[in-house]
Amino acid sequence: MDTNSHGRADPGNWLRTGAVSLQAAWLEFWSLLFPTECVVCRSPDTSLCTPCRKLLRKGTVRPFRAEEAAESLPEIAPDRPLPVLAAGVYRRELSSALLAYKNRGHTDLRPVLGTVIGGVLHLAVDELGAGGGRKVMLVPVPSTGRARRRRGYEPVYSLLRSLDRKAMLPASAVCARALTVPPFWWRMLSTAVRGTDAGEGLPWQQVISRALAHRFSSQKGLGASARRSNVRNTMRLRRRWKWKAGPTPRRFDCLIVDDVLTTGATLSEAERALREGGATVLGAVVVAATQPPKGPAQAELQTKPVPTDQEVEIAQQISVDR
């Protein structure tokens, strides 16, 4: 029995032991009511078991620059694509956790993924920030209205809000929900008025055809050019953003935040919407990239399997199904 300095039983130890026992009993009872399993190895009673959690953290301790393999990223200067920092490669533990969090309702994985992207955000603000104490807006890539209604939350914005509530964002960074995916009719009108990548307007028949194709089809299996065309004019600045008392994109630099980087078409569209709104886009941050890093960083990953074609296709699918 634990005692204090006077040789008497310490009631504080009893309380701590009782709290731990009560917590263990509650978790066991909860697992009986709502059975769950590890999203990676299928171990029972937890969404992410301890061994898989350690492997996920090990695979994300060395963020890397991922823009070289994303052919659809915009250029911020001649032969200089938009810089992108990734926490890890989209495979195994990280891909399973992201997929479960985004499409299977495992919101209990938010703290794990929040910790992963939080470290990359600090690194990105230090490396890509303008310096001089200027504020940097962290702009999450928005979900479509249909995806938001189905899930009940926006995955990327939810991660940032969780970090913000815990005061884990960089000191000079502000979470800014500045982008939105406009409704179906707005995208048709925008395509008719603004046209395609070549700047040409389209007849209404082609406008309706393209808008319907974008609404009811995914980008899975599409090439880089087709993916760029498929997401063009699908984002805009929130109209009410300019009426807020807080910072606006015209006053601060921006970092775009997304979950998975495949070809970079989605980040390119987000960059366009922010740039046309007057913001300076410094770069982007993603939780995972489908392509491993090039150069010296690749040597550390050579003993690990590269993402399979199926994993890349799933990454492309969940990056579209926002």
Q: Which of 61-75, 138-152, 204-218, 237-251 has the lowest mean pLDDT?
A: 204-218
Whether 170 and 256 map to the same domain: the answer is yes
Residue 289 to residues 163, 166, 194, 263, Cα–Cα distance (Å): 21, 26, 31, 9
Q: Which of residues 216 and 10 earns the better pLDDT score?
A: 10
Helix 110-128 / helix 155-165 crossing angle, nearest 10 deg: 80
3-state helix, strand, coil in the chain (%, to 5): 45, 15, 40
Reading phi first (left if > 0) and then psi (alpha if -120 to 50, else beta), residue 65 is in beta
Alpha carbons 248 and 225: distance in angstroms, whole number? 32
Whether 316 and 281 map to the same domain: the answer is yes
Whether 31 and 1 map to the same domain: the answer is yes
pTM exceeds 0.95: no
Q: Which two tokens stand for residue 42?
A: 């299928």
Alpha carbons 236 and 215: distance in angstroms, whole number? 17
Does residue 225 sit within a domain?
A: no
Residue 245 to residues 105, 137, 174, 240, 253, Cα–Cα distance (Å): 34, 15, 14, 11, 17
Q: How much is the pLDDT for 46?
A: 85
Whether 1 and 72 map to the same domain: the answer is no
**How many independent structural domains does the chain possess?**
2
Q: Where residue 305 falls among pLDDT bands split at 50, 70, 90?
A: very low
Q: What is the CATH number of the domain that holds 246?
A: 3.40.50
Whether 28 and 150 map to the same domain: the answer is no
Whether 25 and 121 map to the same domain: the answer is no
Does residue 45 sit within a domain?
A: no
Whether 137 and 272 map to the same domain: the answer is yes
Q: How much is the pLDDT for 277?
A: 84
Q: How much is the pLDDT for 64?
A: 94
Whether 239 and 267 map to the same domain: the answer is yes
Range of 25's domain?
Answer: 1-35
- In the chain, the amino acid numbered 131 is G
Burial class (CB in 10 A: 0-12, 13-18, 19+), 190: middle
Does residue 296 sit within a domain?
A: yes
Whether 21 and 151 map to the same domain: the answer is no
Does residue 220 sit within a domain?
A: no
How does pLDDT run across 61-107, given as a tens digit for each residue?
999 999 988 888 999 888 899 999 999 999 889 999 999 999 888 89
